Amino acid sequence: MLLKERLAEDMKQAMKEKEAGKLRLSVIRMVRASIKNLEIDRKTELDESGVLDVLAREVKMRRDSLEEFKKANRPDLVDSLERELDVLMAYLPKQLTEAEVRSLVQEAVAATQAVGPKDMGKVMAALMPKVKGCADGKLVNTLVKEQLNQ
């Protein structure tokens, strides 16, 4: 089942659950609206990869906000965002561990024959298609910098 279809089915299910599905329903509606807006902007229907990009962007926005709310000592908002993240993470592929990402980074550095920080673009270009949707871009970036600065 495609992600868009799964989102539609899950939205229907959340509507049937009334009170129990309110948070899930609002998060799914927000994601579907983001997908629809992007489709309108691009004047084309998004494929599975495009939908995955939208989901990853939504997760990233919430993670960034989560850090800010923790700094501002807002436990009420932190709790709400964590629950939203749980809903969103169910639609993303299984996330890679740091060790798995580190291994992929080492392979990409070897494959591109990168020797220093100036080759970061080559490494990222080779690596990102492999980890798209499966790893946090910030983590990947950090590990690539670490590897290239050795």
Domains and CATH numbers, the chain: 3-89 (1.10.1510.10), 98-148 (1.10.10.410)
Q: What is the mean pLDDT of residues 129-141?
A: 86
| Torsional sign, CA 141, 142, 143, 146 | positive
Nearest to 35 by CA among 23, 48, 26: 48
* Residues 25 and 14 sit within 8 Å (Cβ to Cβ): yes
Is the pTM higher than 0.85? The answer reads no
121-125's contacts with Cβ under 8 Å and 24+ in sequence apart are 123/147, 123/148
pLDDT at residue 137, as a whole number: 83
> Could you give the percent of the chain with pLDDT greater than 70?
100
Q: What is the mean pLDDT of residues 103-107?
A: 92
What is the number of other CB atoms lying within 10 angstroms of the CB of residue 110?
A: 10
Task: Please say if the pLDDT value at position 7 is more than 90.
Answer: yes
pLDDT at residue 89, as a whole number: 92
